[in-house]
Chains A and B, each alone.
Chain A
Amino acid sequence: MRNIWTICRKELKSYFASPIAYLLLAMYATIFGFFFWNAVGYFVNISMQSTMMGRSFPMDVNEMIIRPLLMNTSVIGLFLIPLISMRLFAEEKRTGTIELLMTSPVRDMEVIMGKWLAALILYSCLLGISLLDMGFLFAYGKPDWRPMLVGYLGLLLQAGGLLAIGALISTTTRNQIIAGAVTFGVCLLLWVFEWVAGYETATWATVMGYMSVVRHYEPFSKGVMDSKDAVYFLSLIFLGIFLTSRSLESLRWRA
């Protein structure tokens, strides 16, 4: 446990000592800010219209602002996660510090967990920024916080799974750019797989649909936590971390 925390702290320090963390935070604040502004603007417009038409029932903030925003956040995640995970192992391989980690009395699994946890914490910081924006909704309206909580939990699960995959890809190269690009490709595929399931009904298309990250995230955005979606993301996390440990092991044998 102590080892995991040692590695995790060092990773976080590296993120925040380099421009990468601040760059991500700034990018995320801008992009999410835009989506938020856009969603609220749209909502205000619609509710004005509906009052003018004489309908006086309240508009649902959860349904009309929070849910689409969470879906957007899920997709933004697909783009930002490769930027977080790409350096995890590639950088250590490039500078040779991997030799320090692998000759220290720590297990490979502890190294992986520490790094994965640090990446997840950085992603949580990004989500924290979106919470600042969401705060305005609570200041000026009365949205239900429970579905939102489930939505954020889903975002963390999704990030956990994709970061584990990203970590795996990062162990295969000493070039961060390659790791990032491949992870981005995989994230994108896991998103668009769903499209096939839209029109094709063959088994393979159904399977591809099941593999889609976005499809499994959608219920979370509505505040619904279905066990099959949770299991999907948890399996992604376990698979990613397990394969990462295998990959590190094979690195030793091939070295």
Chain B
Amino acid sequence: MIRVENLTKRYDRNVAVNDISFEVGKGQIVGFLGPNGAGKTTTMRILTCFMPPTAGKASVAAFDVLEQPLEVKRRIGYLPETPPLYPEMEVHEYLTFVARLKGVPNAELRRRVAEVSERCAIADVSKKLISKLSKGYRQRVGLAQAILHNPDVLILDEPTAGLDPKQIHETRQLIRSLAGEHTIILSTHILPEVEQTCDHVIIISKGRIVAQDTVDNLTSRLRGQEAVLVTVGGAGADEIRGALQSVQGVSRVTLRDSRNGLHSFEVESSPGQNVRAPLARRVVENGWPLHELRSIAMSLEEVFLELTASEKGGEAEAKGERQ
């Protein structure tokens, strides 16, 4: 549905997006994950024909963003980072305006606006001025605006930014409910959001894609070597390490912490091997007291940090951010 090839976007001096390629199939929900200034917004703006790429190709439903922008725009619903609302309009007025703008036929205007208002739970404020709405309602009006013309593709730039936890939950539910009929790309820097709403994830950092895979694969791939935390007392650190090392399936043992005669080790093992029981047995055989034994799951958060931090210093990105 969406195909991006070797896309590059350069501003005066800095490169916001650097040679990225990816594909999104029909009906998928893809999370665009990255720190602020990684190039998420820029990529989305290119896909929505708001700005042209410096180099490379992007197409939506086989229409190129440069060659046939009108066809692309007809098939895309876009929620920018700040919802594009006219504060002096009433909600239904605004939605009717956008529906006309998006080419919804006159005969269907009223029905579409009512449907979408219902779906985004904003029907109760339809007669209110947008300037009087709370942040949560504004975000939902923004989302309503994006789905008005029933587009094939939805592009949502940080749809839950600035909402309270309840609203975040509702917005995610709404996005999930839109899956299937729509292909969705959403950007975020909140990791649980991706884990909860998306099938696929593309991690982008400093304008480059550092990983793309399904959420499950990505977490399990990096969780690949199962890690276990073992805390044992009653012997010297080296002695214990040697004993743990000799357990079958263990690939690496590192000392994490030593205090009050207790030593904590992080034990990594090859994938698929459950080493917890053998480890416990080995400790007990040696007559050492076992204080703690638990597996350390690598959350997407750690995956993300690992991937984006590997290119030293996570803070210097701000420069590449849109102007």
Looking at the assembled complex, report how far the CB atom of A22 sits from the nearest CB atom of chain B, in whole angstroms. 13
1/0 contact string of B151-167 vs chain A (CB within 8 Å): 00000000000000000
Q: A10-B97, A103-B73, A105-B74 are in contact. Are A96 and B103 (CB under 8 A)?
A: no
Cα of A98 to Cα of B80 in the assembled complex, Å: 11
Looking at the assembled complex, report how far the CB atom of B302 sits from the nearest CB atom of chain A, in whole angstroms. 34
A252 touches B50 (CB 8 A): yes
Tell me if B88 is interfacial: C-beta within 8 Å of chain A. yes
Tell me if B84 is interfacial: C-beta within 8 Å of chain A. yes
B51 touches A95 (CB 8 A): no
1/0 contact string of A1-36 vs chain B (CB within 8 Å): 011001101100110011000000000000000000
A contact face: mostly helix, strand, loop, or mixed: helix
Select A17's contact among B70, B88, B102, B145, beta carbons within 8 Å: B88
A18 touches B51 (CB 8 A): no
B48 touches A103 (CB 8 A): yes
By beta carbon, the residue of chain B nearest A10 is B97
1/0 contact string of B291-307 vs chain A (CB within 8 Å): 00000000000000000
Residues of the A chain whose Cβ atoms lie less than 8 Å from the Cβ of B85 = 95, 97
Select A255's contact among B50, B74, B82, beta carbons within 8 Å: B50
Cα of A238 to Cα of B78 in the assembled complex, Å: 32
B103 touches A253 (CB 8 A): no
A97 touches B50 (CB 8 A): no
Residues of the B chain whose Cβ atoms lie less than 8 Å from the Cβ of A7 = 101
B70 touches A255 (CB 8 A): no
Looking at the assembled complex, report how far the CB atom of A159 sits from the nearest CB atom of chain B, in whole angstroms. 24
A99 touches B78 (CB 8 A): yes
- Within B89-142, which residues are at the interface with A (CB < 8 Å)? 89, 93, 97-98, 100-103
B50 touches A99 (CB 8 A): yes
A95 touches B97 (CB 8 A): no
Tell me if B76 is interfacial: C-beta within 8 Å of chain A. yes
Residues of the B chain whose Cβ atoms lie less than 8 Å from the Cβ of A253 = 51-52
Cα of A29 to Cα of B136 in the assembled complex, Å: 43
A255 touches B45 (CB 8 A): yes
Tell me if A45 is interfacial: C-beta within 8 Å of chain B. no
Tell me if B310 is interfacial: C-beta within 8 Å of chain A. no
Q: A14-B88, A99-B80, A105-B74 are in contact. Are A252 and B48 (CB under 8 A)?
A: no
Residues of the B chain whose Cβ atoms lie less than 8 Å from the Cβ of A104 = 73, 98, 101-102
B70 touches A107 (CB 8 A): yes
B103 touches A103 (CB 8 A): no
Sort chain A's interface into a size bin: 20 to 34
Looking at the assembled complex, report how far the CB atom of A110 sits from the nearest CB atom of chain B, in whole angstroms. 10
B103 touches A97 (CB 8 A): no
Cα of A184 to Cα of B233 in the assembled complex, Å: 82
B86 touches A97 (CB 8 A): yes
Tell me if B260 is interfacial: C-beta within 8 Å of chain A. no
Residues of the A chain whose Cβ atoms lie less than 8 Å from the Cβ of B86 = 10, 14, 95, 97
Tell me if A106 is interfacial: C-beta within 8 Å of chain B. yes
Residues of the A chain whose Cβ atoms lie less than 8 Å from the Cβ of B102 = 104-105
Select A99's contact among B52, B84, B87, beta carbons within 8 Å: B84
Residues of the A chain whose Cβ atoms lie less than 8 Å from the Cβ of B51 = 252-253, 255
Select A3's contact among B52, B76, B101, beta carbons within 8 Å: B101
By beta carbon, the residue of chain A nearest B155 is A103
Tell me if A100 is interfacial: C-beta within 8 Å of chain B. yes
Residues of the A chain whose Cβ atoms lie less than 8 Å from the Cβ of B101 = 3, 6-7, 100-101, 104-106
Tell me if A46 is interfacial: C-beta within 8 Å of chain B. no
Tell me if B49 is interfacial: C-beta within 8 Å of chain A. yes
Residues of the B chain whose Cβ atoms lie less than 8 Å from the Cβ of A100 = 78, 80, 84, 98, 101, 145
Tell me if A102 is interfacial: C-beta within 8 Å of chain B. yes
Cα of A3 to Cα of B88 in the assembled complex, Å: 21
Q: A13-B93, A253-B52 are in contact. Are A105 and B70 (CB under 8 A)?
A: yes
Supply 20 further A-B pairs (C-beta < 8 A) apart from A95-B86, A105-B103.
Answer: A3-B101, A6-B97, A6-B100, A6-B101, A7-B101, A14-B86, A95-B82, A96-B81, A97-B84, A99-B80, A100-B145, A102-B49, A103-B48, A103-B49, A103-B73, A104-B102, A105-B70, A253-B51, A255-B322, A255-B323
Query: What are the nearest 7 A-B pairs in CB distance?
Result: A100-B84, A17-B88, A105-B73, A255-B51, A97-B84, A6-B100, A103-B48
13 interchain pairs, CB-CB under 8 A: A9-B97, A10-B97, A14-B86, A17-B88, A95-B82, A95-B86, A96-B82, A99-B84, A103-B50, A105-B74, A252-B51, A255-B50, A255-B322
